[in-house]
């Protein structure tokens, strides 16, 4: 008897639990069904603009006031509102089945260059499309095109021009939004119909003379001003000194002079250029100073690569080592001023790790960097490396000064860079 009562208690206790789970399951199913049924309604609600909601509210208020007050004018206004709303909803019928391709004529340009962008569109639906609008974000601006009704498979093409790329950087183009709606602007449906493209705007640059402080080309590398007893770059003859290698004696000249003459060479080595660009915001008075620094770095990199010198660029979190100018210019287009303080000393150490054998190292920074900080960082370069400390910005005039083994250059305009580099070469 006791066992039977226990079974009855367990069964009766289990029934409410099973019933509750069944009710919850039915409730979830009901919610899913309602959401599916109301999905088209949600699309309509999401497509109503602020003006559309204003018209809907005004229509409802006019209808209620007309019923309560018995004014025919309010009933008429409510009827007109209903007609306008219905006509606006009709314009939302159908899918935005259109494909769009945006194709800039160039993916890279320099500051100030105009860039045409082709916009190709096509109706992918099986029915005629309604008129719609294409909105293409271009940086902070928007290019807008009005596309008429298209037959199935019909397409077209338009072109707009990015007239002036005023600043160095990366300009996003797209994604394109296709929009359709009524003429009054009560309803509006949008859909992204293209991918985003990028236009990389390189910094300006100026032509420079060969780099390297007067270094000249050689079959094996670049000659330096340092004399060497054995190399490929012949320099001159000198008198024989005890201990010289007898294989270097030039016998014909010795016979003419009447004394032993020894060949003397210029030391040659494979040269490379290392550019360190300081991107700490606190080291620049304003953004214009940093733009000048980027332009100077671009000019140096282009000149080095044109001279056949491997070039490396370090700035912020970016490192570029290449013999193709466009890749270094891409990095300069993307770099931005950092609000945090970048350890210039560590940046130079990274530069040494990237190119330990650099023969020319240029550190570019703003006018407000601490001299002690800059000097300490520059000492990280090898003693065999020619070091240039290039400061840009609000200085009184362009200047050139040599302190220890560091060549200090100061400019406030890009056009001064060839001049100060020329003076530095002669120094």
- Nearest CA to 158 among 122, 114, 205? 122
Give CA angle at 151 (147, 154), nearest 5°.
75
Quick check: 268 and 222 in contact, CB under 8 A? Answer: yes
- Pairing assessment for the beta strands 360-365 and 386-392 based on DSSP bridges: parallel
Residue 13 has pLDDT above 60, yes or no: no
pLDDT at 35: 67
Going by their DSSP bridges, the two strands 216-217 and 141-147 should be labelled as: unpaired
* C-alpha–C-alpha distance, residues 315 and 338, integer Å: 10
SS3 of residue 202 by DSSP: strand
Q: At what angle do helices 50-69 and 72-90 cross, to 10 degrees?
A: 150
pLDDT value of position 275: 92
Strands 132-138 and 177-181: antiparallel
**Class of the CATH domain delimited by 98-202:** mainly beta
Greater confidence, 41 or 419?
A: 419
**pLDDT grade, residue 43 (50/70/90)?**
low
Q: Does residue 211 surpass a pLDDT of 80?
A: no
The burial class, CB within 10 Å (0-12 / 13-18 / 19+), for 179 is middle
SS3 98: strand
Query: What is the C-alpha separation between 80 and 66, in angstroms, rounded?
Result: 13
pLDDT at 224 over 80: no
Instruction: Determine the average pLDDT of the residues in 209-231.
Output: 47
Instruction: Tell whether the model's pLDDT for residue 17 goes beyond 70.
Output: no
Task: Please choose, from the candidates 363, 353, 405, 367, the residue with its C-alpha nearest in 3D space to the C-alpha of residue 384.
Answer: 405
Which of residues 312 and 217 earns the better pLDDT score? 312
Q: Is the pLDDT of residue 108 over 80?
A: yes
Note whether 279 and 317 are within 8 A (CB): no
Residue 15 pLDDT level (bands cut at 50, 70, 90): very low
- Decide which of 72 and 363 is more confident: 363
Residues 134, 227 contacting (CB under 8 angstroms): no
| CATH 2.60.40.10 segments of the chain | 98-202
Higher pLDDT, 268 or 347: 347
pLDDT at 116: 92
Which string of b and e fits 251-276 if b means at least 16 CB within 10 Å? eeebeeeeebbbbbbbbbbebbbbbb
Least confident range from 18-22, 184-188, 245-249, 287-291: namely 18-22
Residue 421, pLDDT > 80, answer: yes
Is the distance from CB of 400 to CB of 424 less than 8 angstroms?
A: yes
CATH 3.40.50.410 residue ranges for the chain: 273-426
Specify burial of residue 117 (Cβ count, 10 A radius: 0-12, 13-18, 19+).
buried
For the record, the structure tokens of 37 come out as 């049924």
- Read off the tokens for 137: 């974000």
Place 269 in a pLDDT band, splitting at 50, 70 and 90.
Answer: low
Which region among 15-19, 70-74, 218-222 has the lowest average model confidence (pLDDT)?
218-222
pLDDT for residue 42: 61
Contact 115, 199 (CB under 8 A): yes
Angle made by CA atoms 281, 285, 291, in degrees to the nearest 5: 70
Chain centroid offset of residue 10 CA? 69
Spatial separation of the C-alpha atoms in residues 249 and 88, rounded to whole Å? 99
Cβ contacts of 254 within 8 Å, gap of 6 or more: 240, 260, 261
Which tens digit of pLDDT belongs to each residue from 186-198?
888 888 888 889 9
Between CA 222 and CA 242 the distance in angstroms is 29
Tell me how crowded residue 183 is: count the other CB atoms within 10 A of its CB: 9
Mean pLDDT score, 89-96:
75
- In this prediction, residues 142-161 reach a mean pLDDT of 88
pLDDT at res. 258? 82
pLDDT at 292: 93
Distance CA 130, CA 144 (A): 17
Residue closest to 87 by CA, chosen among 189, 183, 191: 183
Average pLDDT of the chain is 80
- pLDDT of 408 over the 80 cut: yes
Banded pLDDT at 208 (limits 50, 70, 90): confident
Taking 90 as the threshold, does the pLDDT of residue 181 lie above it?
Answer: no
Decide which of 127 and 116 is more confident: 116
Contacts of 303 (CB under 8 A, 6+ apart): 207, 208, 209, 210, 211
CA atoms within 13 A on the CB side of 358: 30
- Give the global pTM: 0.68
CATH architecture of the domain formed by 273-426? 3-Layer(aba) Sandwich (3.40)
Residues 262-271, mean pLDDT to the nearest whole number:
63
- Residue of 279, 367, 353 whose CA lies nearest to 316: 279
């Amino acid at each position: 008897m006791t066992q039977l009562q226990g079974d009855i208690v367990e069964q009766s206790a289990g029934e409410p639990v099973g019933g509750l789970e069944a009710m919850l399951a039915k409730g979830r199913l009901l919610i899913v069904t309602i959401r599916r049924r109301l999905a088209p309604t949600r699309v309509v609600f999401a497509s109503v603009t602020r003006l559309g909601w204003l018209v809907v509210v005004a229509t409802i208020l006019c209808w209620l006031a007309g019923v309560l007050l018995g004014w025919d004018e309010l009933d008429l206004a409510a009827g007109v509102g209903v007609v306008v709303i219905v006509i606006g909803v009709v314009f939302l019928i159908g899918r935005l089945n259109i494909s769009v391709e945006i194709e800039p004529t160039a993916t890279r340009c320099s500051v100030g260059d105009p860039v045409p962008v082709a916009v190709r569109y096509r109706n992918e639906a099986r029915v005629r499309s309604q008129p719609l609008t294409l909105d293409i974000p271009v940086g902070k601006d928007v290019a807008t095109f009005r596309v008429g009704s298209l037959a199935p498979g019909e397409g077209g093409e338009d072109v707009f021009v990015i007239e002036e790329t005023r600043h160095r950087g990366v300009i996003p183009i797209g994604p394109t939004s296709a929009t359709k709606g009524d003429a009054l602007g009560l309803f509006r449906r949008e859909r992204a119909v293209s991918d985003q493209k990028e236009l990389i705007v390189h910094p300006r640059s100026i032509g420079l003379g060969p780099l390297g402080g007067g270094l000249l080309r050689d079959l094996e590398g670049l000659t330096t001003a340092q004399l060497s007893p054995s190399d490929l770059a012949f320099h001159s003859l000198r008198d024989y000194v005890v201990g010289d290698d007898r294989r270097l004696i030039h016998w014909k000249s010795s016979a003419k002079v009447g004394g032993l003459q020894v060949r003397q060479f210029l030391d040659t080595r494979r040269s490379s250029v290392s550019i360190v660009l300081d991107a700490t915001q606190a080291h620049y008075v304003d953004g214009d100073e940093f733009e000048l620094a980027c332009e100077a770095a671009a000019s140096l990199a282009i000149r080095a690569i044109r001279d056949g010198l491997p070039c490396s660029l370090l700035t912020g979190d970016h490192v570029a080592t290449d013999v193709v100018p466009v890749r270094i210019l891409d990095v300069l287009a993307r770099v931005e001023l950092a609000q945090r303080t970048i350890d210039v000393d560590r940046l130079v150490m990274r530069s040494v790790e990237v190119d330990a054998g650099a023969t020319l190292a240029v550190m570019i920074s703003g006018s407000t960097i601490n001299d002690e900080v800059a000097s300490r960082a520059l000492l990280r370069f090898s003693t065999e490396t020619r070091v240039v400390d290039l400061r840009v910005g609000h200085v009184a005039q362009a200047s050139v000064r040599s302190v220890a083994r560091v060549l200090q250059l100061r400019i406030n305009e890009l056009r001064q860079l060839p001049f100060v580099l020329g003076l530095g070469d002669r120094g």
